[in-house]
Amino acid sequence: MGKSREIKKRLKAVDNIRRITKTMQMIATSKFARAQQSSQAGKPYTEALFTLVRELAEASEADHPLLSGVPGSADKPELTLLITSDRGLCGPYNGSVIRVALNHLRGNPKASEGTLEVVGKKGATALKFNGIKVETLHTHFGDTPTYEDVEKLCQSYIDAYVAGEVSAVRVVSMRYISAGKQKPELMQLLPFKAESDGEDTGVKAQYEFSPSEHELLNRVVPAAAKALLYQLFKDAIVSEHIARMVAMKAATDNAGKMRHKLNRDFNRARQAQITTELTEIVSGAAALD
């Protein structure tokens, strides 16, 4: 009797866990749909800015510090931003990003000696465990970072870079490629590099600069850097929701399998108990005869 009661308690606990994980899976799915829509909507703007900055840099003879670097800052330390989540239960999401960040810090003296900033409590906890000092922990972005907050953060990086305080600004985050593929990535934010889309038609755009080349680059390049950082934040949020959705689905499926096994064990224990009781009854009746 004791064994069947114990199995019944475990069945109740497994059912509770299954309901919780199923609910978390549904919440993550809903958040993923909204975050994916926001991330996809911003990509055409970011790509257009990339193309514009690349073409302007090729057509212009003016040097811009955000593109070519600040003279005398090559020996300065770097600034690294790590984007993780505030909450767990999202599978290997945080571990993958933190691993890339640790490899970067350990393999790059300028990064290890420079400033390290972290978004998300999980990243800060992991780095503290590894004995790495975190200069600033950003906890105000959450699941829905606003462009205004990201713009302020990026502007502080631009000011530090232009002032020659850092030689480069790099971001470690999870890149969203598709619903079935996400990749931890180290991205260089400053000096800004507009990546080519790989298509070269051989035709170069001709520009007449108004206002001046330098003034135009002063407006476009910072805007492109801010758009890139904002896109990295949005990709990280989408990837987090996908990872949590997959992790909670796996947990729900495992709870279902565990429930099936416990049901089978309970039926066997109950059958053995009934058999024992019947045997005792028959044995008692035989003794009376």
**199 and 266 part of one domain:** no
**78 and 157 part of one domain:** yes
- Report how far residue 218's alpha carbon sits from residue 62's, in angstroms, rounded to the nearest whole number: 11
Q: What is the pLDDT of residue 284?
A: 75
β pairing state of 181-190 and 169-178: antiparallel
Q: What is the pLDDT of residue 69?
A: 81
Total residue count of the chain as it appears in this document: 289
How many distinct structural domains can be found in the chain? 2
Cβ-in-10-Å burial (0-12, 13-18, 19+) of 201 comes to exposed
Q: Is 114 left (phi over 0), alpha (psi -120 to 50) or beta?
A: beta
pLDDT (tens digit, 0 to 9) for every residue of the chain, 289 residues total? Answer: 458 888 889 999 999 999 999 999 999 999 999 898 888 888 888 888 888 887 777 776 667 788 888 887 888 999 999 999 999 899 999 999 999 999 999 999 999 999 999 999 999 999 999 999 999 999 889 888 999 999 999 999 999 999 989 999 999 999 999 888 999 999 999 988 765 554 555 555 566 667 777 778 888 889 999 999 999 999 999 999 999 999 999 999 999 999 999 999 888 888 887 888 778 777 777 777 6
Question: Is residue 25 in some structural domain?
Answer: no
- Report how far residue 58's alpha carbon sits from residue 40's, in angstroms, rounded to the nearest whole number: 28
What is the token pair recorded at 92? 């290997």
Widest distance between CA atoms in the chain: 116
Q: What is the pLDDT of residue 104?
A: 95
Q: What is the pLDDT of residue 2?
A: 56
CATH of the domain at 87: 3.40.1380.10
- Report how far residue 152's alpha carbon sits from residue 148's, in angstroms, rounded to the nearest whole number: 6
Question: What letters, b where the CB count within 10 A reaches 16 and e where it falls short, cover 99-131?
Answer: ebbbebbeebebbeebbbbbbbbbbbbbbeeee
What is the token pair recorded at 62? 């003016």
- Report how far residue 14's alpha carbon sits from residue 11's, in angstroms, rounded to the nearest whole number: 5
Alpha carbon of residue 150 to chain centroid: 16
Q: What is the pLDDT of residue 180?
A: 87
**200 and 135 part of one domain:** yes
Q: What is the pLDDT of residue 209?
A: 65
Q: What is the pLDDT of residue 196?
A: 53
Q: CB neighbours of 9 closer than 8 A, spacing ≥ 6?
A: none
Structural domain harbouring 35: 31-245
**137 and 43 part of one domain:** yes
**211 and 258 part of one domain:** no
**7 and 135 part of one domain:** no
Alpha carbon of residue 15 to chain centroid: 30
Question: Is residue 269 in some structural domain?
Answer: yes
Q: What is the pLDDT of residue 267?
A: 87
- Report how far residue 54's alpha carbon sits from residue 41's, in angstroms, rounded to the nearest whole number: 22
Question: Is residue 254 in some structural domain?
Answer: yes
Q: Is 120 left (phi over 0), alpha (psi -120 to 50) or beta?
A: left
Question: Is residue 96 in some structural domain?
Answer: yes
**279 and 228 part of one domain:** no
Question: Is residue 26 in some structural domain?
Answer: no
CATH of the domain at 255: 1.10.287.80
Question: Is residue 24 in some structural domain?
Answer: no
**219 and 272 part of one domain:** no
**65 and 169 part of one domain:** yes
**167 and 256 part of one domain:** no
**194 and 102 part of one domain:** yes
Question: Is residue 231 in some structural domain?
Answer: yes
**220 and 121 part of one domain:** yes
